[in-house]
Amino acid sequence: MKRYGIRVRLPPGDTMAGAHLLGEDWEGLRWYDSEEERDRAYQEMQDQPAWYRRGDSPTQILSKVEEEGD
């Protein structure tokens, strides 16, 4: 079964990548049951979060990933 995911990383020089916070090599993975679910979530993750202050924007690098499962 194929899994569909989104890899989240921080851009170089991001303040959250400090050793006392997330670290330079931090990444997160979110998995979805279908390509459609993943693509919908990917679009939503690119939008400005409602709780951000006006003028602030997320500093993240998103990439779609796929993995063959058992």
Q: Are 42 and 6 in contact (CB under 8 A)?
A: yes
How do residues 14-68 score in pLDDT, each as one tens digit? Answer: 888 889 999 989 999 999 999 999 999 999 888 766 776 776 666 889 999 999 8
Per the structure, the complete domain to which residue 24 belongs is given by 2-68
Q: How many separate domains does the chain show? A: 1
3-class DSSP state of 55: coil
Neighbours of 4 (CB within 10 A): 20
Q: What is the pLDDT, as a whole number, of residue 70?
A: 67
Measured CA to CA, the distance from residue 10 to residue 23 in angstroms comes to: 9
